[in-house]
Chains A and B, each alone.
Chain A
Amino acid sequence: GAVVSQHPSRVICKSGTSVKIECRSLDFQATTMFWYRQFPKKSLMLMATSNEGSKATYEQGVEKDKFLINHASLTLSTLTVTSAHPEDSSFYICSARRVGSSDEQYFGPGTRLTVT
């Protein structure tokens, strides 16, 4: 159990366009989902925490109007990168915390975003 999926796995978009990334918990319900960004050979940088049915909490320095997060159900959270620029190119990974669990987080496979 505890499988998290992400879609798409890779996406290439042009500057100025928006792209949506989906994160799904497949076999469990997740009250909380997290969005991370990872640069090559670097650590995981938390962007925001998403709770089902409420507004996401963004980390300092992360533009909430640029990285729109929606957590509409206990199994789905989406991250939309709006007006993408080449510097937004990165590996975006979500993780989910199971309902009733205070600790374990399970990661999705990540989405490689390339903005041209």
Chain B
Amino acid sequence: GENVEQHPSTLSVQEGDSAVIKCTYSDSASNYFPWYKQELGKRPQLIIDIRSNVGEKKDQRIAVTLNKTAKHFSLHITETQPEDSAVYFCAARRYYGGSQGNLIFGKGTKLSVKP
């Protein structure tokens, strides 16, 4: 089955700096990779996702890159702000055409942005 590793587990940056979170996956058939942001006591919110036919996707200060050969994908946050502080989860999903797979989550990264 799929296994997703996420690093680092905690990340502290100064406001305005960039933050990078990396994930690796084991199942080469996985084809969908979302990133979720979870604030304390709240639901995970989808912030960006990428599919296996794309190498990079950007949405304002957030970008995700995917390297299918190496089976890793990364979240990049630029110009970080204190409100970016949260736990970020990566996930990978395999699609079985006609029978849809499940999201497998990484262990999460607690990002702290210091003013």
Contact = CB atoms under 8 A, between A and B. Distances in A.
A105 B103 contact: yes
28 contacts: A4-B43, A42-B107, A43-B89, A43-B105, A43-B106, A43-B108, A46-B104, A49-B102, A93-B43, A93-B44, A97-B100, A102-B95, A102-B100, A103-B32, A103-B34, A104-B34, A104-B46, A104-B49, A105-B34, A105-B103, A106-B46, A107-B43, A107-B44, A109-B42, A109-B43, A110-B41, A110-B42, A110-B43
Nearest to B107: A43
Interface in A82-109: 93, 97, 102-109
Interface string A41-52: 111101001000
A1 B68 CA distance: 31
B29 to A, nearest CB: 14
A74 to B, nearest CB: 16
Interface of A: 4, 32, 34, 41-44, 46, 49, 93, 97, 102-110
B87 to A, nearest CB: 8
Nearest to B32: A103
A114 to B, nearest CB: 14
Interface of B: 32, 34, 36, 41-46, 49, 51, 89, 93, 95, 100, 102-108, 110
B83 to A, nearest CB: 19
The 7 closest A-B pairs by CB, nearest first: A107-B43, A43-B107, A109-B43, A44-B105, A103-B32, A107-B44, A43-B105
Nearest to A106: B46
Nearest to B100: A102
A28 to B, nearest CB: 14
Nearest to B110: A41
Contacts of B93: 103
Nearest to A91: B41
A91 to B, nearest CB: 9
A34 B100 contact: no
A44 B44 contact: yes
B34 to A, nearest CB: 8
B112 to A, nearest CB: 14
A34 B102 contact: yes
